Amino acid sequence: MTQGRSGKWQVTFRVFRYKRDAGLARYDTFPLEIGPDETVLDGLEKIWAFQDRSLAFRHACHHASCGTCGMRINGVEKLACIVPVHEVARDGGTVLCEPLRSFPLVSDLVVDVGQFFRRLEEANFEIIRIAEPLPQAQEEALTRFENCIECGLCVSACPVAASDELYLGPATLAASWRMKEEPRSANVPRVLANADQEHGCWRCHAAFECSEVCPSNVDPAAAIMALRRELLKRKLFRRSDNAG
């Protein structure tokens, strides 16, 4: 980035564009003047306000809690509202914005998250108030899963989700483990059976890309490993019970 006389930075946003009725996808470039504390989402809003009203992107909270502004920024899954432009601009000040992968494309940076939420429902993921005090270690572990903001970054980063559209995916599997760990109101056998299927936790190849990009420290890959251990344990006990 180059700093101009105004104290602002001159950068170029390169943005993926796609409109269903307008044929092929393309990239558009937008020169922008950006303050040192402005985020990628601020930049996109400036483009929308002053250069191109047809640019489509999602956002709501502007502080990493609604999960709607997920996209790939310079090739990495991030929440646009918490990424300062100066952290990602490189090679002469270009910020590349692309939609999340493994979701159906709707328009520009907007993807269809319908299937993602339906899978979370299948995992029986519900927010349950902690009515009784829990041991601190358990509470911390559970709070981590509650912190999922359902942004879909983990799914976009997951190579298995990219090749198997039926894969339950890291967020759903993390939610499944959470429901097993705090089972009030959950049908745990059904949740585990859902995870223990052809497109469930056994498809994961444990490279932890999902955990790398998660903005809420949920660590879905670790939850998947815990799910596997639990399922193996149950299978082994069942086998030894049957043998006895």
CA dihedral 108, 69, 100, 105 (to 10 degrees): -40
Please identify which residue in 207, 233, 237, 238 interacts with ligand SF4, judged by CB under 6 A: 207
Give the other-Cβ count within 10 Å of 36's Cβ: 12
Nearer to ligand SF4, 8 or 101 (CB): 101
The H or E element that residue 17 is part of is strand 9-17
CB of 20 to ligand SF4, least distance (A): 26
Q: Candidates 11, 44, 85, 221: give the one binding ligand SF4 (CB under 6 A).
A: 221
Q: In 3-state terms, what secondary structure has residue 182?
A: coil
Compute the chain's Rg from CA coordinates. 21
Q: Binding of ligand SF4 at residue 153 (CB under 6 A)?
A: yes
Provide the 3-class DSSP secondary structure of residue 164. coil
Q: Of 104, 93, 214, 76, which is closest to residue 165 (Cα–Cα)? A: 104
Token readout for 55 is 């640019």
With CB under 6 A as the contact rule, the residue among 93, 113, 208, 230 that binds ligand SF4 is 208
**Listed ranges 19-27, 94-102, 199-207, 229-237: which one lies at the site for ligand SF4 (CB under 6 A):** 199-207
Residues that bind ligand SF4 (CB under 6 A): 148-154, 157-160, 170-171, 174, 204-210, 214, 216, 218, 220-221, 224
Which residues in this chain contact ligand FES in the complex, by CB under 6 A?
59-62, 64-69, 79, 81
